[in-house]
């Protein structure tokens, strides 16, 4: 008999999503389900995964959680968020309903630029306090790892302040947070007519400083016709690569300008959004091994009817990933459960495929697939107990938090029934 610190047993369905690589094609629908499943946890790790009968015969523990009638699954991984900002921008949401577009709003003083002043003025402590509230809510909705971007400071000092706030949040919250530098999110007001000067600051000052302080694993860019064009993006990302940053990209969100093709050329880890991606871009991404991250809550929140061509990318053999894009402008959505619902109804993913895209594949998109994203022996014990009879219920119950319990690194960090 082996000793465990915690055993979760009698799960109606235990979704292991077991795999040694990201899932593609039909394999995305294979959730590795164990009926009447159980998990044994020792310290921060998973020590055993099997039927309740097998686990009960092999492990003993003083801590037992009964998951009868429920689904047990890996924590959600949200690999594209912008959670550090000061004010929300609900006025823009209303303006879009009245017919203005995201691009029009951002070119007339709203958009990313309107979030800059407050972030520049805020102290690091304020950013941490605001960020902690948001991240705690995400955790309670089952997200156990996020990627978080800077990009609302757009000066060396304020971008560093944002990244330091992200680093502090990683230390003080239960959430694992992977930091991304997004100094190329927009041209700040003072450089809007002198783009070359801002690019020079990005390359000569910001990137080396962020690297020196080891504040970000990834460098991202908003590559779009009205923001950083392909040529500017290529220059900035090449410099970032030389310094040792891995690359993520906001690519082909609004117009097909060759963002996905650039992601492939530069060897980016991910290309995100891709609503307007070209067939050539899909082909190049497949050849280069770029992972597509799709953000249906953004399309929904922008009130657009055309979603990223998810089925086409699945048919091309790409390992689809989902994320919230949580931010104050284009997607004020912090729930991976909602994203999964939208991915099913608006992009034609099956519930099983959408769950794989939000766990295992999302973990691989952060290069953490060997540690999180599935329930396998030796992996970190980031586990959800969901108040639902089967995984198919997850996208069906739209807009509700169906999480019963969140277990992070082997510890219960949220218990809905004890609220």
Binds 309: which of Fe ion, ligand NIG, none (CB < 5-8 Å by kind): none
Q: What are the structure tokens assigned to 325, written together?
A: 């894009």
| Residue 302 dihedral angles phi and psi, to the nearest 5° | -80, -5
Among residues 140, 224, 325, 404, the one that binds Fe ion under rule CB under 5 A: 325
Q: Do the beta carbons of residue 260 and residue 285 sit within 8 Å?
A: yes
Nearer to Fe ion, 147 or 325 (CB): 325
CA dihedral 95, 100, 105, 108 (to 10 degrees): -110
- When asked if residue 253 is in the footprint of Fe ion (CB under 5 A), the reply is no
Nearer to Fe ion, 198 or 222 (CB): 222
Gap between the Cα atoms of 401 and 379, Å rounded: 25
Shortest Å, Cβ 242 to ligand NIG: 24
Nearer to ligand NIG, 112 or 263 (CB): 112
Residues numbered 286 to 305 that lie near ligand NIG (CB under 6 A) are: 298
Q: What value, to the nearest 5°, has the Cα angle with vertex 51 and ends 45 and 52?
A: 85
Residues numbered 321 to 350 that lie near ligand NIG (CB under 6 A) are: 325, 327-331
Shortest Å, Cβ 71 to ligand NIG: 30
Residue of 165, 143, 183 whose CA lies nearest to 85: 165
Residue of 39, 33, 45, 46 whose CA lies nearest to 64: 39
- When asked if residue 159 is in the footprint of ligand NIG (CB under 6 A), the reply is no
**Residue 132 neighbours by CB under 8 Å, 6+ apart:** 169, 172, 173
Shortest Å, Cβ 105 to ligand NIG: 9
Nearer to ligand NIG, 28 or 146 (CB): 146
Binds 329: which of Fe ion, ligand NIG, none (CB < 5-8 Å by kind): ligand NIG
Going residue by residue from 358 to 397, which x/- string records binding to ligand NIG, judged by CB under 6 A? ----------------------------------------
Shortest Å, Cβ 185 to ligand NIG: 6
Q: What are the structure tokens assigned to 36, written together?
A: 């009447």
Binds 111: which of ligand NIG, Fe ion, none (CB < 5-8 Å by kind): ligand NIG
Gap between the Cα atoms of 19 and 356, Å rounded: 10
Gap between the Cα atoms of 177 and 191, Å rounded: 31
Gap between the Cα atoms of 257 and 278, Å rounded: 9
Going residue by residue from 68 to 87, which x/- string records binding to ligand NIG, judged by CB under 6 A? --------------x-----
Among residues 7, 14, 31, 112, the one that binds ligand NIG under rule CB under 6 A: 112
Gap between the Cα atoms of 401 and 82, Å rounded: 21
Binds 365: which of ligand NIG, Fe ion, none (CB < 5-8 Å by kind): none
Nearer to ligand NIG, 127 or 402 (CB): 127
Compute CA distances 222 → 82, 354, 374, 399, whole Å: 13, 25, 30, 29
Gap between the Cα atoms of 329 and 380, Å rounded: 33
Q: What are the structure tokens assigned to 331, written together?
A: 């997607």
151 Rama sector, left if φ>0, alpha if ψ -120 to 50, beta otherwise: left
Q: What is the DSSP letter of 325?
A: -
- When asked if residue 111 is in the footprint of ligand NIG (CB under 6 A), the reply is yes
Nearer to ligand NIG, 266 or 294 (CB): 294
Q: Which stretch binds ligand NIG (CB under 6 A): 111-119, 161-169, 237-245, 359-367?
A: 111-119
Gap between the Cα atoms of 93 and 90, Å rounded: 5
Shortest Å, Cβ 51 to Fe ion: 41
Q: Which stretch binds ligand NIG (CB under 6 A): 10-18, 23-31, 45-53, 108-116?
A: 108-116
Gap between the Cα atoms of 288 and 261, Å rounded: 10
Gap between the Cα atoms of 138 and 195, Å rounded: 36
Q: Strands 6-15, 33-42: parallel, antiparallel or unpaired by DSSP?
A: antiparallel
Among residues 222, 228, 300, 414, the one that binds ligand NIG under rule CB under 6 A: 222
Binds 330: which of Fe ion, ligand NIG, none (CB < 5-8 Å by kind): ligand NIG
| Position with the least CB separation from ligand NIG | 329
Binds 222: which of ligand NIG, Fe ion, none (CB < 5-8 Å by kind): ligand NIG
Q: Strands 2-3, 59-60: parallel, antiparallel or unpaired by DSSP?
A: parallel
Binds 385: which of Fe ion, ligand NIG, none (CB < 5-8 Å by kind): none
Q: Which stretch binds Fe ion (CB under 5 A): 28-36, 39-47, 176-184, 324-332?
A: 324-332
**Residues near Fe ion, by CB under 5 A:** 325
**Residues near ligand NIG, by CB under 6 A:** 82, 111-112, 115, 222, 250, 253, 298, 325, 327-331
């Amino acid at each position: 008999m082996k000793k465990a610190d915690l055993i979760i047993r009698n799960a109606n369905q235990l979704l292991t999503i077991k795999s040694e690589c990201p899932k593609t094609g039909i394999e995305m629908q294979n959730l590795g389900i164990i009926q009447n499943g159980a998990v044994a946890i020792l310290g921060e790790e998973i020590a055993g995964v099997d039927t309740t009968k097998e686990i009960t015969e092999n492990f003993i523990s003083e801590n037992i959680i009964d998951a009868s009638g429920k689904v047990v699954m890996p924590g959600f991984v949200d690999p594209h968020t912008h959670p550090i900002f000061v004010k929300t921008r609900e006025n823009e949401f209303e303006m879009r309903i009245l017919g203005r577009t995201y691009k029009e709003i951002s070119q007339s003083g709203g958009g990313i630029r309107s979030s800059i002043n407050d972030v520049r003025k805020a102290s690091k402590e304020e950013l941490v306090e605001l960020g902690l509230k948001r991240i705690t809510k995400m955790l309670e909705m089952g997200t156990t790892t996020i990627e978080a971007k800077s990009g609302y400071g757009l000066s060396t000092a304020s971008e560093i302040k944002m990244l330091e706030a992200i680093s502090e949040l990683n230390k003080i919250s239960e959430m694992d947070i992977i930091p991304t530098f997004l100094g190329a999110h927009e041209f700040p007001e003072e450089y809007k007519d002198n783009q070359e000067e801002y690019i020079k600051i990005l390359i000569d000052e910001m990137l080396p400083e962020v690297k020196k302080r080891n504040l970000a694993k990834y460098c991202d860019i908003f590559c779009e016709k009205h923001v950083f064009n392909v040529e500017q993006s290529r220059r900035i990302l090449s410099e970032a690569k030389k310094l040792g940053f891995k690359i993520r990209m906001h690519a082909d969100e609004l117009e097909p300008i060759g963002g996905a093709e650039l992601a492939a050329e530069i060897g980016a880890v991910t290309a995100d959004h891709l609503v307007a991606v070209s067939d050539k871009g899909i082909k190049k991404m497949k050849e280069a091994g770029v992972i597509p991250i799709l953000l249906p809550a953004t399309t929904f929140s922008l009130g657009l009817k055309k979603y990223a061509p998810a089925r086409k990318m699945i048919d091309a053999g790409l390992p689809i990933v989902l994320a919230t894009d949580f931010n104050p402008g284009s997607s004020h959505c912090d729930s991976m459960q909602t994203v999964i619902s939208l991915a099913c109804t608006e992009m034609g993913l099956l519930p099983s495929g959408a769950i794989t895209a939000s766990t295992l594949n999302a973990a691989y998109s952060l290069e953490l697939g060997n540690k999180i994203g599935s329930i396998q022996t030796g992996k970190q014990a980031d586990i959800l107990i969901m108040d639902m009879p089967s995984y198919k219920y997850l996208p069906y119950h739209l807009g509700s938090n169906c999480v019963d319990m969140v277990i992070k690194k082997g510890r219960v960090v949220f218990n809905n029934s004890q609220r």
